[in-house]
Structure 1
Amino acid sequence: MASGAGKSAAFALLVLNVFLYFIVIAIAAWAVNHGIERSRETASQLSPPARLFPIYYPFGNMATGFVIIFSLLAGVVGFTTSITGINNVLQWNAPSLQAAVASSLVTWLLTLLAMGLACKEIDVGWTDSNLRTLETVLIMLSGTQLFCTAAIYLGVEEVGARTTVLI
């Protein structure tokens, strides 16, 4: 990779991921809030097994709760990782890039988990338009986070090769 090309690609993908993870946080937080507000009135009419869970989502299907919780978790971790990753990529030295690639890999794995649950929710049946937006953004994020992790890893290889030649 040419000098600087990996840095600009990683930086652009991290900025894109900041915005996409913010969208995931906003939609998932809205869904949790809506579920909490509507749980009391909706779940009181359900049979006992459904009343055991603290949050009942009156929209979506039976996979909705898992998708929303894991999306919120992946969104918060991804947003934080992307913000710190921007700082690490701007420093562009081996220790900071290794920290960025490790946190980026963990974020990608959490995003894949949330995306897998979103795909299961799509497979189970009909969902609300807000949930379809969340599912779409999660699917896009799994790809952009993979490319971001690869770009940062290639930066680690580039900085390592450059450091080895100088020694």
Structure 2
Amino acid sequence: MAVGAASRRYMGPLLCINLVMHAAVLGIAGWSINKFIDRETHRHLGGNTATGYLLVFSLMAGVVGACSVLPGMLHVRAPWRGESLATAAATGLVSWALTALAFGLACKHITLGNRGRRLRTLEAFITISALTQLLYLILLHAGTLSSVFGPGSRNHDHSSCAEIPRGELGTSQKQAAPEFPSSDA
């Protein structure tokens, strides 16, 4: 199917976008939580009762999201096998779950109001990050539909089968194991 090949082609750039988005979330949330903890007032920060929760979950989503890019890149660069798919899917799903939780807090933060420019930027980055992470998971699982790129496929070297004589392929006889001299003598 063409679905698997197309998903593999778009996953590399999408992973780079995810890494940049999660790094931006980490930067903005780290700066904001530093100001929030020190109780400094900054004209671009603002805040309401949901700000502390938003910043903490944004930091967690950013860290886990940035860490989930590595197994994804290894899966794209590897021979696209089931073993690397399981790792990429598990870390991607955990990352998306934390990003979705941060997105929910961003929605609550928006409805409460009184937010500064930095927090609005953080909310936008979290929203975009949640969408790109979901798209990554969809493309990752769409690759399993292909017989070439799915988890059942292997990159075997079938040239060794050509060396077996045809007469030996149909026999079910086991060869005797070589005898080694015993150390009892």
| TM-score when normalising by structure 1 | 0.81
C-alpha separation between the residues in 2 aligned to 1:100 and 1:114? 21
Change (3 A) 1:162 1:83: closer
After TM superposition, the structure 1 stretch with the greater mean CA deviation from structure 2, 85-94 or 125-134, is 85-94
Is the 1:88–1:97 Cα contact (8 Å) retained in structure 2?
Answer: yes
Is the 1:18–1:83 Cα contact (8 Å) retained in structure 2?
Answer: no
The residue number in structure 2 matching 1:106 is: 94
Give the deviation of 1:88 after TM superposition: 1.9
The residue number in structure 2 matching 1:125 is: 113
More helix by share: 1
Amino acid at match of 1:64: T
The equivalences for 1:1-167 within 5 A come to 1-2=1-2, 4-38=5-39, 59-91=46-78, 92-158=80-146, 159-160=149-150, 163=153
The residue number in structure 1 matching 2:170 is: none
Is the 1:71–1:114 Cα contact (8 Å) retained in structure 2?
Answer: yes
Amino acid at match of 1:35: F
Give the deviation of 1:102 after TM superposition: 1.4
Change (3 A) 1:161 1:23: closer
How many residue pairs match? The answer is: 148
Give the deviation of 1:162 after TM superposition: 5.9
| TM-score when normalising by structure 2 | 0.73
The structure whose Rg is larger is 2
Gaps (5+ residues) in structure 1?
43-57
